[in-house]
Amino acid sequence: MLLITRELPQAVAMRAHAEHEVRALMLTGPFEPDHLLAHLENVDAILCTPSDKFDATLIMKLPQAIKVIATFSVGLEHIDLDAAAARGITVCNTPDVLSTATAEMALTLMLMAARRAGEGERLVRAGRWTGLSPNFHLGTGIAGKTLGIFGMGRIGRELAGMARGLGMVIHYRNRNRLSPDLEAGAIYHADDDQFLQSIDVLSINTPGGDATNGWLNAARLAVMRPGAIVVNTGRGSTVDDDALIAALRRSHIRAAGLDVFNNEPHLHPGYLDLENIVLLPHIGSATLETRNAMGFLALDGIARVLNATGSPQHISRRDVP
Ligand code: DGY
């Protein structure tokens, strides 16, 4: 039996029901481990989301019958992979199919931040627009500017292609330098400070996890160019919220666009009264086409494990760029 934690897109739900006996929890709020544990009788597979935290304590309590946890995400930060491996549970995620949608969201945030679009929209809705004048609501353009991509994986490379089309120059910081065909002219930095000093816009495209926890801290923000822009569609854990809020308050960072946060959906309240920030509710992959593709990929992973035809593709794969 397949346990599904949250409501799925219709086409994915139909396929899930065609392939499995399904128990659907239909959670809408916080994930309660005890609630999950109470519904696992006869379950051998779980389809979860990044809102459902499978830490070591929960994984150790899962019944022996559970063979696979598939997550409706490329990110795996919410699942303790070592604990799952220790229990012999395979973890599947949904890479590749969301790269374009997430890169589009990074681009959206970048343009919105640069052109103060969120602030402008709030102004119009509040009836505070008094008309056009030469100095009214000036932002900055992105053509000719340097985009720094932190995490040049599939999403980062997709974003690089889009930004090149808008006339941006691409720099990147990555664990390893890419091959020339993947780099496509982007300039690699092996050093954080040199990278951050070279760019006008920082896009965070890493999947989170211990290696990048709190990476964008006060010291790194301080070396960024005055007036730089920060965009994050990766994971909130990569950013030190207090440090970013302080940098936005004194306009050292001109503007930011965030789709992901620490402690979602309870983001740091310091963001809420800042005008120079665009805040979105983790919708990077939220197109129907993409969500269908993610759901189908998750079901493919579950089928491979349950039918024991497991190709290693998409299975227990940490999407570290
Ligand atoms: C992912 O897939 O990890 C996204 O952040 C959620 O859609």
Confidence of residue 211 (pLDDT cuts 50, 70, 90): very high
Say yes or no: 131 and 220 in one domain: yes
Is 201 in a helix, a strand, or coil? Answer: strand
Please indicate, yes or no, whether residues 63 and 32 belong to a single structural domain of this protein.
Answer: yes
* Ligand 1 contact, 73 CB (< 6 A): yes
Q: Do 74 and 105 fall into the same domain? A: no
pLDDT at 320 over 50: no
Beta-carbon neighbour count of residue 242 at 10 Å?
Answer: 12
Average confidence (pLDDT) over 279-293: 98
Is residue 117 located within the same domain as residue 257? Answer: yes
112 shares a domain with 88: no
pLDDT in tens, 163-192: 999 999 999 999 999 999 999 999 999 999
**Helices and strands (H, E) in the chain, number of each type:** 12, 12
Give the pLDDT confidence score for residue 234 in this predicted structure.
98
244 close to 256: Cβ distance less than 8 angstroms: yes
* Predicted pLDDT of residue 308: 84
Q: Edge to edge, what strands does the sheet with 2-4 contain?
A: 22-24, 2-4, 45-48, 68-71, 90-92
Q: Which domain holds residue 184?
A: 99-279
| 127 Cα to the center of ligand 1, angstroms | 36
If one counts every other C-beta atom within 10 angstroms of the C-beta of residue 33, the result is: 16
Q: Measured in angstroms, how far is the CA atom of residue 285 from the centroid of ligand 1?
A: 6
Provide mean pLDDT across the span 87-93: 97
Q: Residue 311 above 70 pLDDT?
A: no
The share of the chain scoring above pLDDT 90, in percent, equals 96
Say yes or no: 128 and 89 in one domain.
no
Closest CA to 189 of 180, 179, 198: 198
Give residue 238's pLDDT: 98
Same domain, 178 and 313: no
Do 157 and 40 have their domain in common?
Answer: no
Backbone angles phi, psi at 23, to 5 degrees: -115, 115
Residue 312: is its pLDDT beyond 60?
no
Protein residue with least CA distance to atom 6, ligand 1: 73
Residue among 93, 98, 317 whose CB has most ligand 1 atoms within 8 A, to mutate: 98
Q: Which of 12-16, 37-41, 63-67, 317-321 has the lowest mean pLDDT?
A: 317-321
Burial class (CB in 10 A: 0-12, 13-18, 19+), 99: buried
Q: Please check the confidence at residue 317 and state whether its pLDDT lies above 60.
A: no
Tally of structural domains, the chain = 2
264 catalytically annotated: yes
* Domain co-membership, 239 together with 133: yes
Atom of ligand 1 nearest to the CA of 233: 5
CATH number for position 64: 3.40.50.720
- pLDDT at 118 > cutoff 80: yes
**237, 252: one domain:** yes
**Could you tell me the distance, in angstroms and rounded to a whole number, from the CA of residue 279 to the centre of ligand 1?**
16
The answer on pLDDT for 309 being more than 70 is no
Q: Does 316 score more than 70 pLDDT?
A: no
Ligand 1, atom 3: closest residue by C-alpha = 75
Pair 63, 176 in one domain: no
Whether 156 lines ligand 1, by a CB cut-off of 6 Å, is no
Output the average pLDDT for the chain: 95
Q: Please pick, among 235, 254, 304, 314, the residue that the annotation labels catalytic.
A: 235
**What is the mean pLDDT of the segment spanning 95-114?**
98
Residue pLDDT, tens place only, 123-171: 999 999 999 999 999 999 999 999 999 999 999 999 999 999 999 999 9
Q: Both 48 and 171 in a single domain?
A: no
Out of 116, 189, 282, 304, pick the active-site residue.
Answer: 282
